[in-house]
Amino acid sequence: MCGIVGYVGSRQAAPILLDGLTRLEYRGYDSAGIAVVEPGHPLALRKTPGKLSALVESLKGATPAGFAGIGHTRWATHGSPTQLNAHPHTDCSQQVVIVHNGIVENYLALKEQLLKEGHTFTSETDSEVIAHLIESSMAEGVAFEEAVRQTAQRIQGAQAVVAMNVKAPGRLVAFRLGNAGGITIGYGDGEMFLASDLPALLSHTSQVAFLAPGEMVTVEAANARFRSIHGPAIRKSPQAAPYDAVAIAKEGYRHFMLKEIMEQPGVVQRAIGGKVSFEPADVRLPLFPFTAAQVREVNRVVLTGMGTSLHACMVARYYMEQIAGIPAEVDNSSELRYRDPILDGRTLLVSVSQSGETADTLGAMEEAARQGAKQITICNVEGSQSTRMAHGTVFIGVGPEIGVASTKCLIGSLAALYLLAVYLGKVRGHLGPGRMESLLNDLATVPRLIGQVLEHQGLYQRLAHQYADYLHFLYLGRGINMPVAMEGALKMKEISYIHAEGYPAGEMKHGPIALIDGTMPVVALAPRDGLYDKMRSNIQEVKARGGKVIALATQGQHDLRGVADDLIEVPPSPYLVSPMVNVVPMQLLAYHIAVRRGCDVDQPRNLAKTVTVE
């Protein structure tokens, strides 16, 4: 996730911006920059690839003066981490300057229109279109703040943006769309602060306010004015920020698990970061250890992991076969390592382990190494054991996951596995540019789609109130969403201590249907896909036996109303990325039931975050 800071007041802005960016370094980034406005002077824009220290070095003896400014640490998504692609970005005349966190999903169409209008672009990023859109509105006589509001209505996707205008030096305008990172407003004494995260503000103030999705704010040294991006004014009062280190680390959330669930839109952005280009559509894995010839030798992929990582493998089987065109199989690592498998130099073992230290997964990797299989591992921890054992690693880069129940690492693993499959498909000549572009655009919609699911916490609190006292749950799914049923059951087991089983829905008649009665609710994943009709039949079979059904359905799918007892409606999503969206309701259902049952959500009984023993 990118880091954003902003300042307006009576002190020099540059040192405050750099200090704020330093406090956001933990978020990970690959370039940094600041922009400072001084009345009567041209915009001062300083940005560098790499770490903040490079930016600080570049400013030595030439720190720009000015009492208002914005700063940014970028995690590259569209466009590699270069000086030109670093934020802040400006319009053609360097009057408007912006910093951005998120993905402008419709940027290609917007950029084409702006180019036709004569705008000139200097970067490969999607973000730059925001500055030119504001400029375009102002060229029609629209005032700066209104031009920002109009821009907020034209871009699609989940975003957080802060804009400045050289001609309005004492003013910052920010807006937030969806859930790909927020904007916090800090109230000082005759000065105001903006930041994507609390830690950047707390050395200056403990009075803060937060932008909700669909809101914007105009900040001047003495005040902040809030509005909906649709126009009406909004009243907000500053509140006391949490002060203790753990509360700050939780960023105000009650549990790390909820914070990490809420971070998931940004997780996909980071997983894309630096690996994907959209013009032209391409996936780059610069450290990939095998040549094209070696990749073309591969005649099967074996995916292996444990727990949630095993469920990621089950989804990735579809990616390897339907995207890369390679036969694939999935094996629980603790089984694979002991079943004398037949592996060889034409097998690619893809292990998934967010910790990189799971004993059984490492054991399976050792067996694969003994038989000469090629190995790639998907991991979140640099320097961990699995990254040293595999020939190559695709890092998911989602930052530390504190909650024992894995959430954001699953999403990060799925995004990394998806990109690995696209890369393999490209290298094998199985994917043409058109299919690749379509696949990458589908992935780019996921932050917004997850963000839409996250807007409905009230639904899960209501469901928790209704279902927290049941002792058994059955989760059913089909196709690429069957692993999501398995993951939903695992989340329910591990944090609420309720017995829950995940099953392929087609198995129901082969035994589980004997369990159905009013004491065991069924969670049925029935999104609008090629298997919906079969899932609908399963739901009706459960109802016919007096069972209760919580159905996950695609928004607008009204024919399940009156059939299922409760509906969880999710936005439509492309089939192959749908697990990244549909798993989020499973996480939230388990979370809110566990909270209602008074369980220790972040550190459930008997569980360890990393299982380093068999």
**Contact residues: ligand AGP, CB under 6 A:** 305-309, 353-355, 358, 361, 404-406, 494, 610-611
Nearest-angstrom CA–CA distance, 386 and 355: 8
Task: With beta carbons less than 8 A apart as the criterion, state whether 417 and 305 touch.
Answer: no
- Closest to ligand AGP by CB, 237 or 606: 606
Tell the smallest beta-carbon distance from residue 227 to ligand AGP (Å): 40
Nearest-angstrom CA–CA distance, 242 and 479: 44
Name the residue number minimizing CB distance to ligand AGP: 307
**Nearest by Cα to 348 from 406, 270, 427:** 427
Nearest-angstrom CA–CA distance, 215 and 361: 45
Tell the smallest beta-carbon distance from residue 359 to ligand AGP (Å): 9
Q: Which of 2, 313, 379, 599 is catalytic?
A: 2
CB burial string 462-483: b at 16+ within 10 A, e below? ebbeebbebeebbbbbbbbbbb
- Closest to ligand AGP by CB, 224 or 398: 398
Quote the DSSP letter at residue 561. Answer: B
Beta-carbon contacts of 148 under 8 Å, excluding residues fewer than 6 positions away, are 134, 161, 163, 173, 175, 216
- Closest to ligand AGP by CB, 136 or 406: 406
Instruction: Give catalytic status of residue 509 as yes or no.
Output: no
Cα distances (Å, whole numbers) of residue 353 to 329, 332, 372, 395, 576? 17, 12, 20, 10, 21
Tell the smallest beta-carbon distance from residue 404 to ligand AGP (Å): 5
- Closest to ligand AGP by CB, 208 or 404: 404
- Closest to ligand AGP by CB, 278 or 473: 473
CA angle at 345 for the pair 341 and 347, rounded to the nearest 5°: 55
Tell the smallest beta-carbon distance from residue 425 to ligand AGP (Å): 25
Tokens 């720009």 belong to residue: 64
Q: Which of 51, 236, 534, 609 is catalytic?
A: 609
- Closest to ligand AGP by CB, 447 or 488: 488
**Nearest by Cα to 578 from 492, 432, 478, 436:** 478
Tell the smallest beta-carbon distance from residue 592 to ligand AGP (Å): 16
Cα distances (Å, whole numbers) of residue 472 to 179, 407, 464, 547, 583? 32, 22, 14, 12, 19
Cα distances (Å, whole numbers) of residue 433 to 52, 400, 417, 423? 36, 35, 19, 12
Instruction: Give catalytic status of residue 2 as yes or no.
Output: yes
Tell the smallest beta-carbon distance from residue 308 to ligand AGP (Å): 3
What residues act catalytically? 2, 609
